[in-house]
Amino acid sequence: MAVMTAPSRAAGVARRRTRNRNVRTFAGVALIVLWGLAPAYWMVVTAFRRVDYTFETSPWPTHVTLANFRTAFDTGLGNHFARALVNSLVVGAVTTALAMLVGVFCAYALARLQFRGKYVLLGVILASSMFPPVALVTPLFQLFTDLHWIGTYQALVIPDLSFALPLTIYILTAFFREMPWDLEEAARIDGCTQGQAFRKVILPLAAPGLFTTAILAFIAAWNEFLLSSELSSDRTQPVTVAIASFAGSQPHQEPYTAVMAAGTIVTVPLVLLVLLFQRRIVAGLTAGGVK
Amino acid sequence: MTTAVDTAPAPAAPSPAPAGGGRPRRRLLRGEGSGAPLLVLPTVVLLGIVIVYPVVRGVWMSFQKDPGLDKATGMFVQGGTAGFSNYTHWLLQQCAVASGGTTPCPSGNLGAEFWVAVGVTVFFTVASVSIELVLGMWFAMIMHRSFKGRGLLRASVLVPWAIPTAVTAKLWFFIFDYRGVANRLLGTHLLWMGDAWPARFAVVIADVWKTTPFIALLLLAGLQVIPDEVYEAAKMDGASAWQRFTRITLPLVRPALVVAVLFRTLDVLRIFDLPWILTGGGGGSGHATTTLSILVVQQIRQGFSSAAALSTITFLLIFAVAFVFVKFLGANVAGTPEEGR
Amino acid sequence: MPVTRTTAIAVAVGALLPLAACSSGGDAISPQSAGIGSRGPITYVQGKDNSNVVRPLVAKWNKAHPKEKVTFKEQSDNADQQHDDLVQHFQAKDAGYDVVGVDVIWTAEFAAKGWLQPLKGATKVDTTGLLPATVKTGTYNNTLYAAPQASDAGLLYYRKDLVKSPPTTWDELQADCKIAAAHHIGCYSGQYAKYEGLTVNVAEAISTAGGSIVGKDGSTPTVDSAAAKKGLTRLVDAYQGGEIPKQAITFQEEQGRTAFEDGQLLFMRNWPYVYGLAKTDGTSKVKSTFDIAPLPGDGNGPGASALGGHNAAISSYSKHKATARDFVQFLLSNETQKFYAEQGSLAPVRASLYDDPTLVKKLPYLPVLLTSIQNAVPRPVTPYYPAVTKAVEDNAYAAMKGEMSVDAALKAMSASIKSAASS
């Protein structure tokens, strides 16, 4: 908004309008940043605060201590947080791997190929992602107790696949659809079989999309609570269930600071992961949603 | 729900290549399509195991009776088939009576809570989704407009989404404690998790906090597709900011909006983690925040078959809502290209 | 190609069919007759060992029985989770759980499902010398299914600096409330949040007034009676009238303890565990100004406390029931019970120990606790306990909040229990 000649009223008004808009935008940005970060910040501050000052309201880090983190990992109270972390990692990784392995081929077929029953399959996949997980609990519980699988990892991976697989396929299909045909055709013309074209041309190109999808699937599996709380034993409890049922040193007591510490431990790597790949994640999240 | 997979060979003849010009259309090269069923087979099998089988078995279970007590031995014995009685138990609030008939379910029985739970679930859905939409749209417009601090913005927006729901629930449980920071900041002494409406709003607030940023992202993507020229032209034509919003932004963002609303609605209809961890489904006289999913889990402790019936009902309800969205509101969920795009 | 494809799909679908047909049908032969005389290593399952007594005991046993070692599996601290964990393993007919710690309110439920080994015949456990009320909690259908291990009962905590002698009847307690008002503190509280603790308090009120919740068969409701009405009305009127403070409707054990230690309550109904904490907590303001008494009664003796505590039972699916039986008997032995009391401050189930002077010195509440236990009435012994407690909780809660009249609440409880028992 350059002023060319002597300042005219219109230009002044325009400048003020811009300034107002900038101020409003700045205020809006501040609001969004506060919105997203303030509660999370509160969790971290509390995690570092001494237990006696649990309900202290100062926003600055006061009464700092590392004791809560020690308490979070302390198995003397019956919490097995470290084991829960391992469980979440294993279940998340296996679920993601399986979902990707199976989903990538299906997504390719859905995006590129025509076959009878394609729309039925699409419908089923879509329907699966709209599914209430609670409907799976009772039958799976019966099945897993019959198979003596309660307290095993498969009892957690299988229900997680019920949403991880449709999610993977949904996002990957969107990614595959966006990819240009030319390279693939060129490869085919050059004599590659379909499989080779897929492996040598499509997969490398889709790598970023695959990577993003894997992250999203992993986060979804990590996040799961309902099915895990009903189908896991305390040996295979993932981190979400462990945090929800953290025991304090007194019976019937809620150990807030320790729970905040545990929450921080769980959140920080996730947030780092998400921040590192924010562009890709946003792209992945919106790939299916906006077409 | 059948696993329909084509078993006949795909058409052998490829469709002709498009004439020059115009939008390139997908072409079937020779042999393409015949490998498709093999590619989708693992998915079909896996989905069959993790979804189709449990659903079918769940429906089968819902027509069985829960074990009953044999008065003579004092032991539980397997119930037989129950017909539709599990369904009438929930939908029509009919509870069994020793003499064999039924009577309206009395208070204190889970059956009596069905319609209350439906109401609570619908309330959460309407409240959360509408607030998230409005706030999300606002955030999206702010993010669209600002050029500086994009990274910080994106980070602030992704953090609530990245935190696992269970952790979010515990965090807000702490914030809403009677002695917690919410009461201190607001200067109130609300029993956030004890009284009915504070408990409901506690759940809504936690959900809105977590998900508004996600909605904002979806809407932002929709906003970014709208070319600036359209706005410029409208401004030159003298359109006010409100008119620009309602006549340009909203219609063009509509497809993204409808999909966002659909997915969020279905998500909240299924909500479990937040109310369960925040209030245990309690509040008020004890079921102010009991959603349908929570009711199912509570019923599981008392009888599987009845729980299976309730989860089937929930499932059908959610499908009905999705159907309405897709058929009547035109939610384009399959991502198939629309005409003219 | 098409043939292979079709076959593959057919195989996949075919593989699913048996799973669909699978049902968790019961065994034709009763598992309870299996493994009775057999000995070998066993697993003892119990909720979180807050008092750190189990591991030393298990070590002691293992030293004396090297071929029949006990492995201790510790569950979480949450009663619901313990319950669900046991249910999962029993439904799976898991032989990995041999001796299980069961809360007193689960015994009937588990026994009726055939999961617990009756403690008679070859697996008979000797219960002489144990407090009769505690033995009753392990009995279902006139058969002993679980042996009591540790007990618990409600005590009345009171401020001895404000009240010279503790009230022995509810009317006396209400009369003392003016003292509370004069000092601007709450008069009385128990546990009134909508959870199991509410059932405990309501059951106590009803039993003290001479009523009951279910009959001897465990499924016929008897709660719609004049005596029950008297009991529940006491609680409701006290809450509505302000003698029970408004926020007590959210109190579980800990919140009440905090309020009492803060000097905010004149009287409190709580479990014995509070005694040690109130005396030693850094933040306790009542360290030297409180004492305990049995719960106030109806004019003819102390009030009826509910019985807490837990029992030890043998799983029907255990493979080494002889060892399991011996281990249960070991838990009941005089030394173990004394160890529970000395080391863990747990109320023993052996009557004689309540007179032991060294124990009384360590746990000054023992004599009062004995009176409480001797006058205790167990919560409803019914295999439908989850439904019964929900019926009581929901309706009592509504009555206390004034959303339902006491009559309507009792009628609804009765109807709820009836329909739970006939489904």
Domains with residue ranges and CATH for chain B:
113-328 (1.10.3720.10)
- Tell if the CB–CB gap between B315 and A131 is shorter than 8 Å: yes
Structural domain includes residue A7? no
* C202 and C263 inside one domain: yes
C233-259 confidence digits (pLDDT tens): 999 999 999 999 988 988 888 889 989
Same domain, A102 and A130: yes
Helices marked H in C223-320: 226-241, 253-261, 273-280
C311 phi/psi in degrees, rounded to 5? -115, 165
Is residue C131 included in any domain, yes or no? yes
Q: Are residues A279 and A150 in the same domain?
A: yes
pLDDT range class, residue A249, cuts 50, 70, 90:
low
Assign residue A278 the CATH number of its domain.
1.10.3720.10
Residue C324 counted as domain residue: yes
Does residue C3 belong to any structural domain of this protein?
no
Q: How many domains does chain C have?
A: 2
A259-278 pLDDT per residue, tens: 999 999 998 888 888 888 88
What's the CA angle centered on C75, arms C127 and C420, to 5 degrees? 70
Q: Is residue C396 part of a domain?
A: yes
Q: Are residues C100 and C131 in the same domain?
A: yes
Pairing of strands C42-46, C70-74: parallel
More confident of the two residues C342 and A38: A38
Give the tens place of pLDDT for each residue, B234-275: 888 888 888 888 888 888 888 888 888 888 999 999 999 999
pLDDT at C152 over 50: yes
- Residue A101 included in any domain: yes
pTM (two decimals): 0.81
CA distance B6 to chain A (A): 5
Residues of A in contact with B121 (CB under 8 A): none
Cβ contact B98–C394 (<8 Å): no
Lowest-pLDDT range of A256-265, B159-168, C381-390: C381-390
pLDDT over 60 (residue B117): yes
Q: For position A218, what pLDDT does the model report? A: 93
Q: Which residue has the higher pLDDT, A127 or A3?
A: A127
Same domain, A209 and A157: yes
**Section C314-327 average pLDDT:** 93
Range of the domain at A34: 19-65
**pLDDT band for position A80 (cuts 50, 70, 90):** confident
Q: Is residue C240 part of a domain?
A: yes
Q: Indicate whether C242 and C193 sit together in one domain.
A: yes
Query: Does residue A74 share a domain with residue A43?
Result: no
* pLDDT tens profile B103-114: 788 877 788 889
Q: Are residues C79 and C184 in the same domain?
A: no
Q: Which pLDDT belongs to residue A77?
A: 67
Q: Domain boundary at A65, A92, A124, which?
A: A65
Asked if pLDDT for residue C8 goes beyond 50, the answer is no
- Does a structural domain hold residue C181? yes
Yes or no, beta carbons of B109 and C419 under 8 Å apart: yes
pLDDT of B16 over the 60 cut: no
To the nearest whole angstrom, how far is the Cα of B61 from the nearest Cα of chain A? 8
Residue C300 shares a structural domain with residue C336: no
Searching chain C, which residue's CA lies closest to the CA of residue A144?
Answer: C92
- Residue A105 pLDDT > 70: yes
Would residue A179 count as lying in a domain?
yes
Q: Which residues of B touch C247 (CB under 8 A)?
A: 178, 191
Q: What is the interface pTM, i.e. ipTM, of the complex?
A: 0.86
**Is residue A42's pLDDT more than 60?**
yes
Residues A95 and A54 in one domain: no
Q: What is the pLDDT of residue B236?
A: 87
pLDDT for the residue numbered B22:
42
| Mean pLDDT along residues B155-180 | 89
Q: Which of C77, C88, C254 sits opposite A78 (nearest CB)?
A: C77
Question: In this predicted structure, what is the pLDDT of residue C21?
Answer: 41
pLDDT on residue C9: 47
**A182 and A206 housed in the same domain:** yes
The reply to whether C213 and C90 lie within a common domain is no
Strand partners, C116: C315
Confidence check: pLDDT of B17 > 70: no
The residue written with tokens 């209430």 in the block is A132
Answer yes or no: do C183 and C252 share one domain: yes
A–C: how many Cβ contacts below 8 A?
49
Evaluate if residue C290 carries a pLDDT over 90: yes
Q: How many residues does chain A have?
A: 291
- Tell me if A220 sits within 8 A of B162, measured CB to CB: no
Residues A98 and A46 grouped into a single domain: no
Q: Where are the alpha helices (DSSP H) in B163-303?
A: 165-175, 181-186, 196-224, 228-236, 241-244, 250-269, 273-279, 292-300
Highest mean pLDDT out of A136-150, C142-156, C213-227: C142-156
Residue B1's pLDDT band, with cuts at 50, 70 and 90, is very low
- On whether both A155 and A274 belong to a single domain, the answer is yes
Question: Does residue B89 contact residue B306 with C-beta atoms inside 8 Å?
Answer: yes
Q: Are residues C63 and C97 in the same domain?
A: yes
Q: Tell me whether C65 touches chain B (CB under 8 Å).
A: no
Domain that residue C273 falls in: 154-306+381-422
Q: Has residue A243 been placed in a domain? A: yes
Mutation site for C-interface testing, chosen from A138, A147, A252, A253 by largest number of C Cβ within 10 Å: A252
pLDDT at C26 exceeding the cut of 70: no
- Decide if B194 and C412 are in contact by the 8 Å CB cutoff: no
Task: Check if A233 contacts C (Cβ < 8 Å).
Answer: yes
Residue C30 lies in a domain: no
- C83 and C141, same structural domain? yes
**C19 part of a folded domain:** no
* Number of separate domains in chain A: 2
pLDDT band, very low/low/confident/very high, at C312 (cuts 50, 70, 90): very high
- Chain A residues whose beta carbon lies within 8 Å of the beta carbon of residue B160: 35-36, 39-40
H/E stretch holding B336: none
Quote the pLDDT of residue C19: 43
Pair (A252, A118) in one structural domain: yes
pLDDT of residue A40: 92
Reply yes or no on whether the pLDDT at A233 is more than 50: yes
